[in-house]
Amino acid sequence: MTGLPQPRDVIAHRPPFLFVDEVVSLEPGVRASGLWRLSGTEWFFAGHFPGRPTLPGVLMCEAIAQMGAIALLTDERFAGKLPLFGGLDRARFRRQVVPGDTLELSVELGRMSARAGKGSGKAAINGATACECELMFVLVDA
């Protein structure tokens, strides 16, 4: 789709810690969705787990948070800010994610203030939920 930003143009993350490859939909300050394509060459697969590579659950939560940061930072009210994790609640892992999978990320932002906010997100593969969680974040000057 044209008109959607590149993740690296919105958030400060860079490889090997940039976990959003593409923004698929965006409503600034409200919601966003995107993709993370796992090739199998990512650094964490070698040790998690040898012979049975599996995406660590905490990295799924991080990918969801990065998608949320894109939804947040594309809202001009939050320009020049850096969202930091303030908390993670109700994280649930529903299925294994392996090399070759494409993680479909979606986040909906909730209550927002000038200094903090909440959101909820999901990571799925072919529509089947792999992870879901609630995010809390604080905003600091970038």
Instruction: Please list, in sequence order, all residues whose beta carbon lies within 8 angstroms of the beta carbon of residue 89, skipping any fewer than 6 positions away.
Output: 133, 134, 136
Pair 85, 17: CB distance under 8 Å: no
Number of neighbouring beta carbons within 10 Å of residue 135: 25
Residues marked as catalytic: 48
Q: Which residue has the tokens 């990065």?
A: 66
Q: What distances in angstroms separate CA 137 from CA 47, 67, 78, 118, one per listed residue?
A: 29, 13, 13, 6
Helix (H, G, I), strand (E, B) or coil at 18: coil
